[in-house]
A and B are shown apart, each in its own frame.
Chain A
């Protein structure tokens, strides 16, 4: 086992959220997460700076996510973003949080990858410069894409 592998345990939530941005179907999410963990296992020896494990792991997750062909494309099913409403009127309950989360990830799945990746990385708390390095694009471009992604999500609310 690589020395950094135990740290991966604490990053499961980050990896899971990244995976959820690329797949709606729960079983397919598990498969994609498994694929990400395997790629991470194989790539860990290449990581030079151990402080950069999280961006390293998320880069792998987002790259494999971009390569992932969604279950609904392979095997269309009936889930629709319209199944979930974003409502402010309902009381703050767990189910409301679940609905919002479900809505958000369904909406993220509809966004083009070029808008989705910077927005998700920003929501994870990365700075524009870090996102630019992870995606291999310019810092200004990161800002533009995040702005467009937010505008698109707002229009779907």
Chain B
């Protein structure tokens, strides 16, 4: 038995647990539904946050509370829109393309996703600094009612900061790994 025969024998001896077409279809549809539910939850959470912050701005007259919340809202809104409400472009890259085309398209997409993660992390940092700074200043100046608003905003900013860190940390590591792998494929194809 030569090396090639051994390779083939070893390669073909790997067999999966075979499933019927109906079973495969059920599993695929279940996964599709899980994705849709996850997406719906993301959108619902984002819209909920918009309503919470938006209702704070929906006052008859502009008070100091409005001015405390406004910068937060102005940053939060575009970030949420960019990262969540706008459909991430993952689906636009078809894995049915040739490997070279797929790798190039996916690299562009990963660059864009990594940029979005960078925006999300920096926006969370900026909002935390802003809200803590506002809370500190309003507490020092003892502005009536505004101190409470600033502390509430700080709590939201802290939660958002922690959430962003946890979610993006894993995603960013994974994306960098994928990016490096696909980059090597593209570079190797270019050299050939």
Contact = CB atoms under 8 A, between A and B. Distances in A.
Given A17-B11, A97-B10, A150 B95 contact: no
Interface residues of B, number: 45
B15 A16 contact: yes
Contacts of A117: 99
Main secondary structure of the interface of B (DSSP, over half): helix
Interface residues of A, number: 58
Given A12-B19, A59-B99, A123-B7, A101 B182 contact: no
A104 B99 contact: no
A41 interface: yes
Interface stretch (B24-32, B46-54, B120-128): B24-32
B13 interface: yes
B25 to A, nearest CB: 6
Interface in B1-58: 3-4, 6-16, 18-21, 24-25, 27-28, 31-32
B27 A34 contact: yes
A13 to B, nearest CB: 6
Interface of B: 3-4, 6-16, 18-21, 24-25, 27-28, 31-32, 94-103, 106, 173-174, 177-178, 181-182, 184-185, 188-189, 192
